Amino acid sequence: MTPTSKSALTESDLSAVEQFSRLLAGRLDALAKKPEDARLIKLVRQAILEVKDVLTTGAISEADRPSHLPVSKLKASEVLEQGRVQLSQASLYRAVEQKRFYCITPTGRSIGKEFPAWQFIQPVPELIAPVLTELEDTPSREIHAFWVSEFDELNELSPAEVLAGLPFETRIEMHNSQRAMLKLPANERMRKVVEQAKWQLRSMSEPVS
């Protein structure tokens, strides 16, 4: 049987793939009852990501892909109004609890959450959960600082850029080594960011001499 060409996928096909992967990811979170379930769910998430990569890689033209990550922050209502997710506001906050997204409290305020917009750019929603799980006990502002800080280990790119495979809109120039890292397969980019998160947590927990 001749494989279907990736370019033959329509916008409707891509939308169906995206909706199915999100639905399945949500169901996996609901099924996690015991600690030993975590490893199985991680493997299933990995399989979902690999299948989605096979189906969608190359199916979206370069003209349809964003060229940069936004640096803006959105209120929950703005996330929904802009169609960033197909969730209710209550479900969006539950997704934060499930480590599928993150939000921060603006400086100088004790209430009111904001969502960094970059995390809603594909393929970030399918990749971010393992990293947020690593950062589970980290204050929200430190989580955001991690995502947008540049690290030597990531060729002076931020974890957000590596995970998304796209530079922030504020980045003025790119070196060849940085472009090469952003072109790595999604699974490899996710692995590098998870390792960076682990390293960051270890460095923060080490006693100051």
pLDDT for 115 equals 97
Residue 54 main-chain phi, psi, to 5 deg? -60, -40
Going by the DSSP 8-state scheme, the letter that residue 2 receives in this structure is: P
The model's pTM: 0.69
pLDDT for 33 equals 62
Using CA atoms, how far apart are residues 41 and 47, in angstroms rounded to an integer? Answer: 10
Domain range annotation of the chain: 7-60
Give me the tens of pLDDT residue by residue for the chain, a chain 209 residues long.
333 333 445 555 656 666 676 667 666 666 666 665 666 666 666 666 656 555 554 444 444 567 899 999 999 999 999 999 989 999 999 999 999 999 998 876 667 799 999 999 999 999 999 999 999 888 888 999 999 999 999 999 999 999 999 999 999 999 999 999 999 999 999 999 999 999 988 776 655 44
Show Cβ contacts of residue 138 under 8 Å, excluding neighbours closer than 6 positions: 146, 201
**Contact (Cβ atoms closer than 8 angstroms) between residue 133 and residue 197:** no
Structure tokens at 12: 């409707």
**Contact (Cβ atoms closer than 8 angstroms) between residue 199 and residue 149:** no
pLDDT for 39 equals 61
Using CA atoms, how far apart are residues 25 and 135, in angstroms rounded to an integer? Answer: 19
Cβ-defined contacts of 107-113 (< 8 Å, 24+): 112/75, 113/75, 113/76
In which element (H, E) is residue 115 found? strand 115-116
Residue 2 main-chain phi, psi, to 5 deg? -75, 125
